[in-house]
A and B are shown apart, each in its own frame.
Chain A
């Protein structure tokens, strides 16, 4: 594993409705690693994730500090006003706690980000969708029913579909907010396995409650304590 810096977080302060969540948090995340963010619930782990793709609610929260992500080796201040958040979110994918497929077919769900990005060539779309579904370990299970409603899939399949959807634009960073917490053990294990496989292409930041899971897949563990990160390999 190489040791290139992927994300640099410097002196992050974050407060939500006057309640301080992060106070001077700094963190360095290396390329092609899985980074677990741990800590008691309600301490702001998920909020921290959303600072990395600017998905937090700007109307009721405030943030200061600097976050740089090295896209193809070039540092980018992700809060630079000239850097559109839609561009950022196409490079930094996110998977949520509960699977959130859209009410459309399996194929159209995975192709949706391509449509949003204005990439509409049919052949390319089909190719990208298949590749993403394979990366998410879902292709074999759905290849015969790509045009069926995505909401008919099982919970574990839906979550892998959401991972595939996040992967279709080939993001360099993937944020995962307790991605297995709504799934049974077996479905969760498949996802853990695929995340480890994804390290080849992606840098991952994962919020997890399960210490066993963190032990199994994380390269680095960052504990959120009093609004700051304490980093250590468990």
Chain B
């Protein structure tokens, strides 16, 4: 009997210690991983009334929220580090907006800023959406990916919310139309964090060194320039094909000049086959350019940041990139100086439908708001954000982010001015290659592009796989 009792006591103690161990670990990990979360939790405990009010406000989402009287901790899930002034600067801009809002309008305002790298962003958001725990603001991919969240009624109708707040005009008209077109909806469900055109950037000194005077007007001229650069011992083009997307952008650049700026819309709608002659020619062009050595050796292992640095450092002459590149170019650390890098639109392809004034365009990775957690606290910051971010990003970083800019600084950076001048030439826009593709198709085109460049896969095979995946995964 005594042994039985001893056994019972021992096993009880064992169970208790196991459970205590689990509990202890949980608490420890929470504290370690995110001390701000603990802070937030404690704040919720102390202020149950505030939470109740939030819930009520949440039910009334869509109606005009009052002034930011109620405050809770706002959660922001970002794919930009808090201090990224030398890349897109989006993290720095969001942080500045948070701090300014706290200092100028709402001293009780608190936030949690969580950084997740771009590779894991979609995973994180999908998981949070599945557990009904989307953060108040979160970075996400525009286009098809966002459409899934819209259809599941998880993201806030930004048009409605900003109209209710009376600040819808603070968004750039072009950005509004662009974002609505991307999702094919009447309203927009996301905030832009960029208004970028894409094209080729070139190192003027290297062009001069190779005896090239000025930017090429046609694709053929660009290839001839590549030969001249090679002859001068200069790598003609740096491409961050290690990240895959810069390579598909190049393919896209040729495709839109050959088939017109709306070729991707046609392909997504099923009126232009992904294995049509135009796409095969574009794929073949990228492969041929790599075979000719224009992208340097091992182009498929270089990431886009390295490629961008190579052009500034004078290690390569050209780069295909978006106008977000100006943040790096305007920085004091740019070895090419204030006027060392030039820009030219994707050159025309002989016999092609596209014109050089049609630019591939994008609004960067966008910022969405959770519909379920939208309340006065979020509305207060949202209003401040859209009315101030345009001026702030222009003044501090010389960057257009898709918001109205009331005051342009006098000493706007040379590169920013160059992009603004290019934007004035725009007569038509196209998306980026994967904008209207399903996740599956987007993955396939990016996974295969390195093999296409290396010659492990023919242009026909590449396009055939695009077509097959499109057929398998196209929305009904």
Is this pair of chains taken from one and the same complex?
no
- B residues with CB within 8 A of A: none
